[in-house]
Every structure is written in structure tokens, then in C-alpha cells.
């Protein structure tokens, strides 16, 4: 297979689900990885699999809400590989499903906004500082179709992901002149622990989620990973500021 990420140093937050699948795709394409997660075991499992396949990966425990930990994460990637070519800011939470806004409480607001939105901002902040010293870099943030349209069951999550799209667009404008590209990926439903835990694994629920795609199925995590790897690579050299739907046609209607 071609290896468009050969030798590139790439940081990924979120070591399960989409983050794990993206790590595998990036490693197959030659990237050297730092995988970070609040649950160290998830990051370690992903890094161990990459290493077992002959790739390079290190794991780190990081809470993306904590500026000092995020700064240390970027410093660790640079200490390990000498530079930071790419970053996939993907760690996130769904929050309660089916609870409408009038019933949400402030703890739910803070948890979702702090991880999904503040976490992405802190990651970009520290990554961009490093990339400015290099004069190059590519960042992909995980938004969602929930960053493009509203959904009834997850109002605060939708607000957080619209925020990620906004941050992505502004950051792309601010740093394009410095050789840094910044995009977001917007998946529809993907077969990960988040969906199974949030919506339940019952076949009738999975079938209902599948109807949102014109392909009548939810995505495999690697299908998101393939798009992220492309956005991180030099093949996407003229692409920036884009919320990129990987949603099986959900938002085409």
C-alpha cells in the first residue's frame, strides 16, 4: 500500500473507537504516533497493536480538559519524534441521550463542553504553538454531523460540535499563512463504544440509526480513519477550514 504519512509524527487523542481505528490507518501509512486518552489502558492497547504490526507508537494518559497535561502531551510527542506534523483532536463524550435542554443540568453542560469544546481548543492551542516553530502542520478535529445539523436527543453535544466547527474555521483562517492546515471531520453514526453505550446495542435501535445513511448502515471506524489520514496528509495540501462530512449522505438531504 502507499504510505502518504511516511515518517510523519502524529498525535491522536481518544484511544478507542474512531481514534484507535485512525491510529491503525495512520500507522499503516507510515506515521509515528502518540496516542493519548484519559484512560491509559485504551491508549496503551492501541499503541501495543500498532507496535505489534511493526509500527511506532507511544501511549500517554491525558485529560484534554487540563492545559498542563495537554502541553505535556505535545512536548512528549516532540521529545519522542523531534517534531509534530499532525494532530487528530478526537477525544469526546456524548452525554445523556434523549434528555431535552429544559431537563439538562449544569454538570452535564460543563462535562460535555469542557471535554468536546475546551479540550479541542486546548489541544489546538498547544499544537499550533509547536507547528508555528516548524512553519508547517496539519490538524484534524473531530466534530460530527451534530456540528452541521441539530438532533433532538443530544442538544448540548450538538452545541459542542457546532463549536468545534467554528473553532476549526477560525483557526484555519488565523494560521493558514503560517503553513498550518486545520480541518474537522464530521462523522454520522459510527460503530464504536460511544454509540453502543449511548443508544444501546439492540438490533432495532441499530437499524433505526442505519436509516440516516443512504447506505442503510452505520460507518465502520476505519472509514472515518481513512478520511482523517487523507486530511492529515500532503495530498490535502489545499484543503483547510473544512467541516468534512463522512456521514453516508446523512447531511446531503
Ligand X SMILES: NC(=O)c1ccc[n+]([C@@H]2O[C@H](COP(=O)([O-])OP(=O)(O)OC[C@H]3O[C@@H](n4cnc5c(N)ncnc54)[C@H](O)[C@@H]3O)[C@@H](O)[C@H]2O)c1
Strand 180-187's sheet: what is its strand order?
56-61, 32-37, 9-13, 86-89, 137-142, 180-187, 243-246
Catalytic residue among 24, 81, 157, 175: 157
Q: Which three cell numbers stand for residue 24?
A: 491503525
Min dist. Cβ of residue 139 to ligand X (A): 14
Active site residue 157: yes
Question: Would you tell me the crossing angle of helices 17-28 and 221-232 to the nearest 10 degrees?
Answer: 50
Min dist. Cβ of residue 37 to ligand X (A): 5
CA separation for the pair 188, 248 (Å, rounded) = 7
Q: Based on CB atoms, which residue is closest to ligand X, 65 or 136?
A: 65
Q: Based on CB atoms, which residue is closest to ligand X, 41 or 176?
A: 41
Min dist. Cβ of residue 97 to ligand X (A): 11
Q: Based on CB atoms, which residue is closest to ligand X, 36 or 236?
A: 36
The residues that touch ligand X, with contacts defined as CB under 6 A, are 13-19, 37-39, 42, 62-65, 90-93, 115, 119, 142, 144, 187, 189-190, 192-195
CA nearest to 186, candidates 109, 105, 92, 123: 92
Going by C-beta distance under 8 Å and a sequence separation of 6 or more, which residues neighbour residue 198? 94, 97
Min dist. Cβ of residue 168 to ligand X (A): 13
Q: Based on CB atoms, which residue is closest to ligand X, 134 or 251?
A: 251
* Residues catalogued as catalytic: 157
Amino acid at each position: 500500500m502507499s504510505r502518504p504519512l511516511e515518517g510523519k509524527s502524529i498525535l491522536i487523542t481518544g484511544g478507542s473507537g474512531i481514534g484507535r481505528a485512525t491510529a491503525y490507518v495512520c500507522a499503516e501509512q507510515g506515521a509515528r504516533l502518540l496516542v493519548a486518552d484519559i484512560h491509559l489502558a485504551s491508549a496503551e492497547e492501541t499503541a501495543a497493536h500498532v507496535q505489534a504490526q511493526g509500527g511506532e507508537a507511544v501511549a500517554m494518559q491525558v485529560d484534554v480538559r487540563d492545559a498542563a497535561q495537554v502541553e505535556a502531551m505535545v512536548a512528549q510527542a516532540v521529545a519522542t519524534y523531534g517534531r509534530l506534523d499532525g494532530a487528530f483532536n478526537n477525544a469526546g463524550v456524548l452525554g445523556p441521550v434523549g434528555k431535552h435542554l429544559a431537563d439538562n443540568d449544569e454538570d452535564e453542560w460543563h462535562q460535555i463542553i469542557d471535554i468536546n469544546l475546551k479540550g479541542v481548543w486546548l489541544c489546538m492551542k498547544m499544537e499550533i504553538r509547536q507547528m508555528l516553530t516548524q512553519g508547517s502542520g496539519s490538524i484534524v478535529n473531530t466534530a460530527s454531523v451534530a456540528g452541521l445539523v441539530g438532533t433532538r436527543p443530544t442538544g448540548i453535544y450538538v452545541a459542542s460540535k457546532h463549536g468545534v466547527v467554528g473553532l476549526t474555521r477560525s483557526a484555519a483562517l488565523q494560521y493558514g499563512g503560517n503553513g498550518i492546515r486545520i480541518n474537522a471531520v464530521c462523522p454520522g453514526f459510527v460503530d464504536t463504544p460511544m454509540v453502543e453505550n449511548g443508544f444501546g446495542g439492540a438490533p432495532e435501535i441499530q437499524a433505526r440509526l442505519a436509516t440516516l445513511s443512504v447506505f442503510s448502515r452505520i460507518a465502520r471506524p476505519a472509514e472515518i480513519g481513512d478520511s482523517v489520514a487523507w486530511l492529515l496528509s500532503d495530498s490535502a495540501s489545499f484543503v483547510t477550514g473544512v467541516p468534512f462530512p463522512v456521514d453516508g449522505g446523512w447531511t446531503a438531504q
